[in-house]
């Protein structure tokens, strides 16, 4: 019985861990098998530069997890197992080349003051949007948390129509289809304020002109104003370590260094997995694969032609380079010391620049002016660095997984082993322009290329941290493919989960929790 479980789960990312905990709480015996030596996938923390400096490998913002239905159900249990958060009252800001800045704080007066310095009209618009957020949020979050089935969607549409009327419902539909640029230019007059919010679209593969992306700058802006941000105390791995402890306390097994080479199925039913060491693990009720869709046909040996074609054709977003810095002191931002008090500082000067950068990366070019997301977690959580020291968590967005050239014509290398240093220096030059003297404060540095991200976690194909584009053709009912947004596959008892499955990327654990709730019946 040691190698027999009710549910066998492949991978120990936060979605499979959440699914395992829910199933274990419902009385299922669960076993998770992770090929890496550590759990967490993109949600992990380590001393990647110098001893005593704790850096989040990829994910830093845990707001979605802390506010999720999953955490509402299991927060007390996870807290007992060590999960702890640090609230952030100044979630994000942007630094601009002309020496100005804008930022969002949970203090409305502070937010509007920074916006009013650029545009009084936009500051007033912001206050109006924030005042109405309480009315709009239930509809948007209701959609993002709904099962992607026709019956569930029909019920959602009925509720929306009853609450908002025909005109309001059509306005909402138009908003959901709009690009970030369309909504931002319609709503705000100052290009910097448009850029402040438009940078959030880039986190989820929504460049300014991609249809369906308007919702994300709006939600991130309004949620940042209303709730701030949440990061993990001591690092993002506070979540995954607590999940593992909770699963084990309920009798579940989590095994690392265990590579799955095959999903076993017989008579069109999944019955278990085979590991690289030759062991066979039996699943009596379900096999749950927390993997990128492209890997599924290889592990199953093939299902139906249409499904396998959809899985291998699943489109991934451009990649990301991570630069982890151990610093002697915080950056001295040219736009003002106020930027030292924000968790994120975006360096994304305009919607046009973001659009150009995205197009260059999509074409395989190293962007001439990459977008930077500069995380300053030690402002709110000093425990991540020795006393008086700091870390920077720098996402370089976006970057091609496979390099075909350099948009600036300076870097000749087309492999990441040789292109990493000069491209990282390009990013650090941009940071230096916005915060002079930062280079002199660097005590330690670790560059993580898109290829390294994929090597560490095969789900991050080409360094795609969101495990698949969220464009409309691959979102909602179509994530990862039509008819399979609930994680189902043509093989009975085999289910897909993770960021590639609705509701998609982020730390909210929605794909894992929705699937486990369906399997357990509640």
In the sheet where 390-399 sits, what is the strand order? 101-104, 92-95, 344-347, 371-375, 390-399, 319-327, 442-448
| Closest of 322, 295, 471, 316 to residue 391, by C-alpha | 322
Residue 32 pairs in a beta bridge with 9, 254
Which of the four pLDDT bands, split at 50, 70 and 90, describes residue 1? very low
Question: Tens digits of per-residue pLDDT, 242-269?
Answer: 999 999 999 999 999 999 999 999 999 9
Instruction: Note the Cα 185 to chain centre separation in Å.
Output: 26
The class that CATH gives domain 4-43+64-86+235-314+469-520 is alpha beta
pLDDT of residue 433: 98
How far apart, in whole angstroms, are the C-alpha atoms of residue 338 and residue 345? 11
The per-residue pLDDT for 168 is 86
Give the 3-state secondary structure of 220-241.
Answer: HHHHHHHHCEEEECCCCHHHHH
Note the pLDDT tens digit of each residue in 419-458: 999 999 999 999 999 999 999 999 999 999 999 999 999 9
Label the pairing between strands 269-275 and 280-289.
antiparallel
- Statement: residue 233 has pLDDT above 60: yes
Please give the Cα distance from 431 to 117 (Å, whole number): 23
Distance CA 22, CA 77 (A): 11
Q: Please give the distance of CA 128 from its chain centroid, rounded to a whole number.
A: 28
pLDDT tens digits along 105-159: 999 999 999 999 999 999 999 999 999 999 998 888 888 888 888 777 777 787 8
User: Residue ranges of the alpha helices (H) in 149-264?
Assistant: 150-177, 180-187, 191-203, 215-227, 237-249
pLDDT tens, residue by residue, 311-368: 999 999 999 999 999 999 999 999 999 999 999 999 999 999 999 999 999 999 999 9
Q: Which residues make beta-bridge pairs with 281?
A: 273
Residue 488 has what DSSP assignment? B
The pTM assigned to this predicted structure is 0.96
Beta bridge partner(s), residue 319: 399
User: CA 508 from chain center: how many Å?
Assistant: 9
| For the chain, domain boundaries | 4-43+64-86+235-314+469-520, 92-227, 318-456
Q: What is the pLDDT of residues 46-76, one digit of tens each?
A: 999 999 999 999 999 999 999 999 999 999 9
**Residue 281 and residue 283: Cα distance in Å, rounded?**
7
CA atoms of 378 and 390, how far apart (whole Å): 6
Q: What is the mean pLDDT of the chain?
A: 96
Two tokens, residue 171: 């306005």
Count CB neighbours of 73 within 10 A: 16
191 Cβ contact list (under 8 Å, min separation 6): 350, 351
Measure the CA–CA gap between 298 and 62, rounded to whole angstroms: 32
pLDDT of amino acid 2 = 62
Nearest of 437, 436, 412 to residue 422 by alpha carbon: 412
Residue that has been written with the tokens 């992607």 in this structure: 148
Q: What is the pLDDT of residues 159-211, one digit of tens each?
A: 888 888 999 889 889 999 999 999 999 999 999 999 999 999 999 999 999 99
Residues in the chain: 522
Q: Rounded distance, CA 341 to CA 498, Å?
A: 33
Beta bridge partners of 274: 262, 280
Contact between 14 and 237 under an 8 Å Cβ cutoff? The reply is no
What mean pLDDT do residues 8-24 have? 98
């Amino acid at each position: 019985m040691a190698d027999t479980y009710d549910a066998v789960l492949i991978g120990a990312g936060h979605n499979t861990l959440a699914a395992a905990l829910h199933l274990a709480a419902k009385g299922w015996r669960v076993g998770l098998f992770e090929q890496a030596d550590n759990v967490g996938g993109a949600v992990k923390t380590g001393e990647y530069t110098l001893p005593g400096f704790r850096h989040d490998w990829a994910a830093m913002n845990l707001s979605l997890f802390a506010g999720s239905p999953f955490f509402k159900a299991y927060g007390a249990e996870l807290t007992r197992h060590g999960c702890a958060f640090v609230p952030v009252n100044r979630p994000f800001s942007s630094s601009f080349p002309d020496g100005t800045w804008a930022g969002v704080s949970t203090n409305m007066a502070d937010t509007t003051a920074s916006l009013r310095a650029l545009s009084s009209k936009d500051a007033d618009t912001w206050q109006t949007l924030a005042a109405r957020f309480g009315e709009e949020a239930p509809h948007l979050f209701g959609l993002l948390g709904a099962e992607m089935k026709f019956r569930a969607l029909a019920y959602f549409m009925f509720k929306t129509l009853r609450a908002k009327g025909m005109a309001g419902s059509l306005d909402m539909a138009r908003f959901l289809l709009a690009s970030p640029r369309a909504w931002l230019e319609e709503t705000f007059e100052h290009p910097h304020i448009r850029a402040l919010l438009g940078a959030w679209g880039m986190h989820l593969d929504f460049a300014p002109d991609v249809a369906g992306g308007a919702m994300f700058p709006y939600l991130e802006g309004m949620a940042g104003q209303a709730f701030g941000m949440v990061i993990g105390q001591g690092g993002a791995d506070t979540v995954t370590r607590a999940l593992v402890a909770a699963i084990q306390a309920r009798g579940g097994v989590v095994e690392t260094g265990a590579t799955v080479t095959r999903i076993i199925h017989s008579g069109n039913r999944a019955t278990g997995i085979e590991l690289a060491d030759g062991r066979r693990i039996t699943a009596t009720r379900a096999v749950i694969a927390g993997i990128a869709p492209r890997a599924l046909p290889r592990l199953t040996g093939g299902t139906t032609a249409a499904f396998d074609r959809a899985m291998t054709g699943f489109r991934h977003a451009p990649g990301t380079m991570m630069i982890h810095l151990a610093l002697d002191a915080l950056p001295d931002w040219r736009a003002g010391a106020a930027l030292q008090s924000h968790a994120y500082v975006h360096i994304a000067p305009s919607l046009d620049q973001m659009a150009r950068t995205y197009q260059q990366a999509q074409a395989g070019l190293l962007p001439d002016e990459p977008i930077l997301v500069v995380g300053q977690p030690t402002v709110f959580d000093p425990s991540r660095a020795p006393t008086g020291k700091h870390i920077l968590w720098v996402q370089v967005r976006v970057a091609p997984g496979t390099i075909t050239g350099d948009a600036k014509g300076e870097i000749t290398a087309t492999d990441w082993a040789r292109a990493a240093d000069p491209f990282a220096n390009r990013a650090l030059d941009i940071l230096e322009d916005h915060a002079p003297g930062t280079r002199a404060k660097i005590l330690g540095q670790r560059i993580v290329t898109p290829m390294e991200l994929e090597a560490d976690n095969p789900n991050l194909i080409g360094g795609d941290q969101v495990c698949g584009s969220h464009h409309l053709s691959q979102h909602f009912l179509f994530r990862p493919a039509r008819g399979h947004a609930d994680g189902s596959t043509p093989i009975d008892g085999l289910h897909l989960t993770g960021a590639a499955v609705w509701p998609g990327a982020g730390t909210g654990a929605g794909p894992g929790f929705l699937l486990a709730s369906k399997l357990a019946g509640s």
